[in-house]
Amino acid sequence: MGCLFCLENKFMKNKILVTGGAGYIGTHTCIALHEAGYDMVVYDNLSNSSREAINRVSTLIGQPIEFIEGDIRDAESLRQVFSSHHFFGVIHFAGLKAVGESVAKPLLYYNNNVSGTITLLEVMVEYDVKNLVFSSSATVYGDPETLPIDEASPRSCTNPYGQSKLTVEHILADLAVSDDSWNLIPLRYFNPVGAHPSGQIGEDPNDIPNNLMPYISQVAVGKLEKLSIFGNDYPTVDGTGVRDFIHVTDLAQGHVAALNYLQQHASSKSASDTTGSVGFLPINLGTGKGTSVLDLVAAFTKVSKQPIPYQFAARRAGDIASCYASADNAKELLGWEAKLSITEMCQDTWRWQSKNPNGYLLQS
């Protein structure tokens, strides 16, 4: 017979709570977790996501996903989840993410993104679950002083969304100082784009897209009339903004790599093969390459064979000229690096958008 303790320990080390798991990055990460042998429970309030997305993930992986509709600000609901499962850790995606909305509704963003995370952390303490991968953002770097941006670069923010991410990072850093049994990896994403190669799941923004790639794809599919490019007078190769676009499936693999790192290094009362706590370890996830807005439009036009009419508009307040990552730490510590090209990002986005012109809404 096998060792019951060993079996229980293995089960605990493989079960993950995924908050916000019905969202764009969360759904792709659920597939990557399944492929890596992790079990998961998805917890999401569906405020900017869809139950249909979870249904499609279940179809893609060939088995149902345990889904719980709930809010991270609801401590009692979280307690019920933690009391019913033995989690190794949490991947925390749940959060509001529209910059413009955050400027108009700062209290909503601080309440959801900051207070919600505090509630989640307090419940994690109650159930002695101290391994966390946090969905952070390159927004915390503000307007970078030097390029590429590494994890030691100065941090500052120009909007409440970014401030909410940075505030959570400060909380996590303070938590690690206060208690060395915490293992906390905030992943600072650059610009996630693309979709699952099946075309079954992808980015499905509410109303008018806030991000560039879904706006381009909705113009290509005829849902929007034209693209507005904000600023053509930046000190860049063609005057338009330059960003580090990363395929969402590469990004999903980055979360698996972070969990694997925690498995190897996080100290645990029930584990005998660990090498000490991780503490607070921020890591960039990006390609290390910048692509201009016009270059992305040209790549998408070539892939989709659809015209992408656009017009130039004035710069938006808070936008910066260039932003791209140094992802050396991800490669050295996690063994992870982005693999997919801009062409593949455009191909997968177009496959998703052309198959699902109205996102997860049922086609008439």
Residues forming the active site: 161
Classify strands 242-243 and 291-292 as parallel, antiparallel or unpaired: antiparallel
Three-state DSSP state, 177: helix
Element holding 323 (H helix, E strand): strand 322-323
Cβ contacts of 206 within 8 Å, gap of 6 or more: 48
Half-sphere exposure of 73 (CA within 13 A, CB side): 12
Position 21, amino acid: G
d(CA 286, CA 151): 12
Cβ contacts of 48 within 8 Å, gap of 6 or more: 23, 96, 97, 206
**187 close to 135: Cβ distance less than 8 angstroms:** yes
DSSP line for 211-273:
SHHHHHHHHHTTSSS-EEEE-S-SSSSSSS-EE-EEEHHHHHHHHHHHHHHHHHH---TT-SS
Would you say how long the chain is, in residues?
Answer: 364
Nearest to 194 by CA among 137, 243, 138, 251: 251
d(CA 77, CA 86): 16
